[in-house]
Amino acid sequence: MTSARAPFRQRGVALFIVIIFVMLSMLLALWASRTSLFQEMLTGNDADYQRTFEAAQALLQDAELDIRGEMADGSACSAAPCRAYTSSLQFPGDSKEINPLITLLEAEATRCKDALCTRRVGRQDFWNYAKEETVVKPAANAASGEVPLSALKAVGARYGQYTGAANTTAAGPLNPILTETDEKHGGWYWIEIMRYSDAAKSASLIVNASTSQLPLNLDVYVVFRITALALGRKPGTSVVLQQTYVRQRLKD
């Protein structure tokens, strides 16, 4: 006589384990997708910054050509859009022209006109004052040219404005930032006209052991400080580059 076997009870353990593995797989897939999205955002931000940095460098080079009175191909200006033919403001050709130019610029509310500016005597990081309310006591500081960035953008120069430099090729624009023309995008440069001090005019740059001196080899005792500002395609991306530039003459 055989005894009856007790019925087998299914407790659902296998189903529970399968559900756990499915949830883990979903979490892993979600983590992978978020990581990929984060890496894509980093790559996009870095690419936008590099593009903006290159635009600022191009603006510095364009400003140097503007100072030298040259076209984008390096030839001398002979027609528009070069500054000598489009503006009454020109870079000083001799020391006697510096003071009248600075006097003219100081009469402007922004201390700038046609991208030419006097030396800033107020806060130097003017690019950080994007709005009127960010300027501390604008009325009291009007003499120092502390005005919102929007006011300075109106008197800044765009890429190729005075050199004829083109940002396009047959395949399209080299840098899309330089083709932007609205206030919130693109790039600008400003050139400050700064005198050498009277002591610097007569001082020498190098004195060797035999007391022989190397005099300052300049056409005009003036230094140009160029500030280039480029705004990226993404909100919050901006690059500011500054450099000083001095024109020199060749030895006879």
pLDDT value of residue 71:
85
What's the pLDDT band for 69 if we cut at 50, 70, 90?
A: confident
Question: Which residue would you say has higher pLDDT here, 96 or 226?
Answer: 226
pLDDT value of residue 138:
45
Among 49-63, 125-139, 172-186, 206-220, where is mean pLDDT lowest? Answer: 206-220
How would you class 12 by CB atoms within 10 Å of its CB: exposed for 0-12, middle for 13-18, buried for 19 or more? exposed
Decide: 227 and 190 in contact? Cβ < 8 Å: yes
Bridge partners, 66 (sequence order): none
Question: Which residue would you say has higher pLDDT here, 143 or 239?
Answer: 239
* Phi and psi, residue 61, nearest 5°: -65, -35
In 3D, which of 31, 34, 32 has the Cα closest to residue 42?
Answer: 34
pLDDT at 111 over 70: yes
CA-to-CA separations, 247 to 78, 92, 146, 147, 226, in angstroms, rounded:
20, 11, 28, 30, 13
What's the pLDDT band for 139 if we cut at 50, 70, 90?
A: very low
Q: Is the pTM of this model over 0.95?
A: no
Kind of pairing, strands 116-118 and 186-195? Answer: parallel
CA-to-CA separations, 231 to 76, 110, 161, 251, 252, in angstroms, rounded:
30, 21, 17, 41, 44
What's the pLDDT band for 62 if we cut at 50, 70, 90?
A: very high
- Residue pLDDT, tens place only, 99-110: 888 888 988 888
Percentage of the chain with pLDDT > 90?
20
CA pair distance 221, 247, nearest whole angstrom:
9
Place of tokens 């400050």: 192
pLDDT value of residue 206:
52
Residues 6 or more apart whose CB falls under 8 angstroms from that of 186 comprise 158, 159, 177, 178, 179, 180, 230, 231
Count Cα atoms within 13 angstroms, Cβ side, for 28: 6
CA-to-CA separations, 226 to 7, 29, 77, 139, in angstroms, rounded:
91, 50, 20, 26
